[in-house]
């Protein structure tokens, strides 16, 4: 007997929703939401601003609610989360849950991209190489399958455009990056935060980027569990 209270039409509709979690798994990365030893998968319908929560070992019975603390820019079928996830709130029976995710999520049509945050206690150096042959040192603050965010000196990014960027992993990785935006650091006017996307990565290089993103995400999750 089917005890799922969710109407059949809603279940069919939810099955058509492209989920961030599903796309991330397909890219070799997994986000697990853990509260009190219970793992949950959070599905988002960005266009309508609603979520579903699923527990891996339970029957399909999604619980619904409104997303809090997100903003969207819609361009056809592309939904882009332009703001940092500050809080996602929902009510499950008599319990109110709140989850803070210090990250950005980009949601393009063809490829999901999760921005893995670099922990404050880790310093991953980056070097920006401009067209004049100058090199500027900075630090990475997030990394995704399709781009990065870094803090660099003001003179490193005089205007948006292409830069070669070397990321100081254990095995340094140099990538072509198109700088899309830059904004001043609140605490240091001599430095800026930049955001950029990778351009023309070969499959082997893309695989390396994906592995580094997954490693950063695993470290972030382990640290969150230890601090909980």
Tens of pLDDT, residue by residue over 160-184, are 678 899 999 989 999 999 887 777 7
Lowest-confidence segment of 21-30, 34-43, 98-107, 162-171 by average pLDDT: 21-30
CB atoms within 10 A of CB 71: 11
Q: What is the pTM of this model?
A: 0.51
> What is the percent of the chain where pLDDT is above 90?
10
> Residue 31's closest CA among 201, 227, 217?
217
pLDDT of 105 reads 36
Whether the per-residue pLDDT at 7 is higher than 50: the answer is no
User: Helices (DSSP H) in the chain: which residue ranges?
Assistant: 8-16, 20-26, 203-227
Contact status, residue 143 vs residue 177, Cβ threshold 8 Å: no
Rounded distance, CA 126 to CA 34, Å?
A: 32
Whether the per-residue pLDDT at 50 is higher than 70: the answer is no
DSSP state of 145: S
Strand partners, 72: 81
Domains with residue ranges and CATH for the chain: 8-114 (no CATH), 117-218 (2.40.10.220)
């Amino acid at each position: 007997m089917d005890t799922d209270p969710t109407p059949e039409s809603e279940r069919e509709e939810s099955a058509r929703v492209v989920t961030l979690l599903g796309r991330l798994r397909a890219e070799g990365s997994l986000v697990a939401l853990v509260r009190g030893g219970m793992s949950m998968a959070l599905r988002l319908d960005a266009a309508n601003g609603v979520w579903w929560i699923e527990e891996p070992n339970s029957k399909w019975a999604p619980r619904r609610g409104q997303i809090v603390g997100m903003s969207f820019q819609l361009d056809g079928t592309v939904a882009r989360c332009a703001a940092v996830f500050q809080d996602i709130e929902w009510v499950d029976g008599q319990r109110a849950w709140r989850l803070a995710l210090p990250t950005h999520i980009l949601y393009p049509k063809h490829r999901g991209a999760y921005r893995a945050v670099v922990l404050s206690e880790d310093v991953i150096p980056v070097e920006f190489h401009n067209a004049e042959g100058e090199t500027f040192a900075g630090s990475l603050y997030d990394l995704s399958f399709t781009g990065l965010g870094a803090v660099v000196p003001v003179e490193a990014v005089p205007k948006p455009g292409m830069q070669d960027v070397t990321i100081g992993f254990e095995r340094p990785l140099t990538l072509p990056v198109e700088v899309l935006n830059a904004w001043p650091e609140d605490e240091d006017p001599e430095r800026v935060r930049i955001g950029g996307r990778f351009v023309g990565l070969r499959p082997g290089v893309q695989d390396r980027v994906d592995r580094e993103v997954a490693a950063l995400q695993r470290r972030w999750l382990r640290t969150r569990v230890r601090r909980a």
